[in-house]
Amino acid sequence: MNWRQLPIDQKNLEKSYTEKYGLGSKYQTEQERVYLSPEIYPDLKTAISWLTLTQGDTVLDIGVNNGYELELFQNISEQKWLDSISVIGFDIIEEVLQKAWSRFENKSNYMFVKGNILDFKGKDISNDTEFKILDNSIDIIIALTSLQSTSIIENFEIFIENLMIKLKDSAQILVGTPNFHLDANNNIGGGLFDANEQKVDVKAARNFSDKLTAILISKGFQHKQFGETIIFDYFRREN
């Protein structure tokens, strides 16, 4: 079975996500090719250019996995990711976070936390201590192909309400929603594979993006969108 077709077991999230996205998974070998493909890379560049980074910002990357996308962001961003910016990479899989940490080993402004983002707390993998995301502490959220995950959409409205508490009044959110699957020849095809229904759903990504957009606009955010293969939604609120 293709990794995109593996359903998630809600009772054993870490094991299930490790099978699907862990170091031994096919995802790890496909991730770079997919991000660098002509269908995605130019759109990613546009989306990154929308982010404004300010000295002292705290960035939370939800579902950071092995840190590849975080490193790619920084390489293609026209703005410098200053050492005064704190970056929290969050994921439910420990082994991928170890890899992410090794990418940023020399950077003391990076930390990687293992936990379920619905709890807004987890284990700082550098020292095995509990880390809690404090209220009113986050300036920027990045969530690339993670928010539509089964574990998060099941409780989506509650999750967003709790997420709002963690954000500062002025905040930015960049979300990438996958609107593709890999076909039998490993080519990018339109529509997300629904692992529960075991079929391609051409509307799921747009529906998710529309729902997210409606909620965040109601919370006072302005919105910009770009991209088809990954739908990039950027939200900004200034207070």
Ligand X SMILES: C[S@@+](CC[C@H](N)C(=O)[O-])C[C@H]1O[C@@H](n2cnc3c(N)ncnc32)[C@H](O)[C@@H]1O
Q: With 0-12 CB in 10 A as exposed, 13-18 as middle and 19+ as buried, what is 1?
A: exposed
Residue with Cβ nearer ligand X (85 or 144): 144
Of positions 16, 146, 172, 179, contacts ligand X by CB under 6 A? 146
Of positions 92, 111, 113, 175, contacts ligand X by CB under 6 A? 92
91 is a site residue for ligand X (CB under 6 A): yes
21 is a site residue for ligand X (CB under 6 A): yes
Q: With 0-12 CB in 10 A as exposed, 13-18 as middle and 19+ as buried, what is 162?
A: middle
Q: With 0-12 CB in 10 A as exposed, 13-18 as middle and 19+ as buried, what is 187?
A: exposed
Of positions 16, 25, 58, 65, contacts ligand X by CB under 6 A? 65
17 is a site residue for ligand X (CB under 6 A): yes
| Range in contact with ligand X (rule: CB under 6 A) among 76-84, 111-119, 180-188, 200-208 | 111-119
Residue with Cβ nearer ligand X (97 or 167): 97
Two tokens at 221? 């955010």
**In degrees rounded to 5, what are phi and psi of residue 13?**
-65, -45
| Range in contact with ligand X (rule: CB under 6 A) among 37-45, 88-96, 162-170, 181-189 | 88-96
148 is a site residue for ligand X (CB under 6 A): no
Residue with Cβ nearer ligand X (37 or 220): 37
* Of the candidates 213, 225, 49, 236, the residue with the CA atom closest to the CA atom of residue 140: 236
| Range in contact with ligand X (rule: CB under 6 A) among 41-49, 61-69, 79-87, 216-224 | 61-69
Residue with Cβ nearer ligand X (174 or 216): 174
Q: Bridge-partner residues for 111, per DSSP? A: 88
192 is a site residue for ligand X (CB under 6 A): no
69 is a site residue for ligand X (CB under 6 A): yes
Q: Which residues bind ligand X (CB under 6 A)?
A: 17, 21, 31, 63-65, 68-69, 90-93, 96, 116-118, 144-146, 149, 151-152
